[in-house]
């Protein structure tokens, strides 16, 4: 069955809008962090660690905004693979941030904070809001970014086994299997 041209144009327009949102949001956060960080991210490699981590966080945020509490399977799989592609970058950024003395940069996470997708959605939205708050300090922005990254990894870990199986039983994360 051939798709109508209108559907293809709408899809293309949605893709373009998503890319613009992710790029603008990433740039805003990255510029604020770089402006306030002094020489913390002076090497090209450190800037790239920051850039990739922020971009993936923004993609994950956009995914949550778009699909809410029941994301389609293909979208959930795509974002889980995007998160997986950034693991080395996340680890390097966490290592860079580990050396900060700023008390505000201390970050932690509750290992039992999310037991289902709705809890994860709520926790992620809160971290994103605090990350983007105009009054957020450098330490707060980095702490929220690392906490959000932790939640991305929780999402990836909880959804990844699902993609390997073709059974139809709904899982605890409410992924729409259609």
- How far apart (Å, rounded) are the C-alpha atoms in residues 2 and 111? 47
Q: Could you read off the pLDDT of 90-102 as tens digits, one per residue? A: 999 988 887 665 5
The four Cα atoms 155, 159, 160, 165 give a dihedral, to 10 degrees, of 180
Residue 115 in domain: yes
Q: Could you read off the pLDDT of 129-158 as tens digits, one per residue? A: 999 999 998 888 998 999 899 999 888 887
Residue 132 in domain: yes
More confident residue, 10 or 106: 10
Residue 169 in domain: no
Residue 30 in domain: yes
Q: Could you read off the pLDDT of 50-99 as tens digits, one per residue? A: 999 999 999 999 999 998 877 888 888 889 999 999 999 999 998 888 76
- Rounded mean pLDDT of 28-49? 93
Furthest-apart CA pair in the chain: how many Å? 60
Residue 61 in domain: yes
Residue 170 in domain: no
Residue 20 in domain: yes
Q: Which two tokens stand for residue 175?
A: 């992924």
Residue 58 in domain: yes
Handedness of CA 85, 86, 92, 94 (dihedral sign): negative
What domain count does the chain have? 1
pTM of the model: 0.82
Q: Which two tokens stand for residue 128?
A: 């994103």
Average pLDDT, the chain: 81
**Residue range(s) defining the domain that contains residue 101:** 5-159
């Amino acid at each position: 069955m051939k798709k109508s041209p209108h559907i293809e144009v709408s899809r293309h327009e949605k893709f373009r809008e998503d890319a613009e949102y992710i790029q603008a949001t990433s740039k805003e956060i990255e510029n604020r962090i770089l402006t306030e960080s002094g020489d913390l991210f002076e090497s090209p490699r450190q800037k790239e660690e920051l850039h990739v981590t922020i971009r993936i966080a923004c993609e994950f945020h956009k995914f949550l905004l778009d699909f809410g509490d029941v994301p389609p399977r293909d979208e959930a799989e795509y974002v889980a693979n995007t998160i997986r592609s950034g693991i080395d970058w996340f680890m390097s950024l966490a290592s860079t941030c580990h050396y900060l003395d700023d008390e505000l940069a201390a970050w932690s996470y509750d290992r039992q904070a999310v037991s289902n997708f709705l809890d994860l959605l709520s926790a992620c939205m809160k971290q994103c809001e605090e990350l983007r708050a105009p009054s957020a300090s450098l330490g707060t922005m980095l702490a929220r970014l690392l906490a959000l990254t932790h939640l991305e990894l929780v999402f990836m870990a909880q959804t990844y086994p699902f993609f390997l199986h073709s059974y139809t039983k709904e899982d605890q994360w409410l992924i729409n299997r259609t």
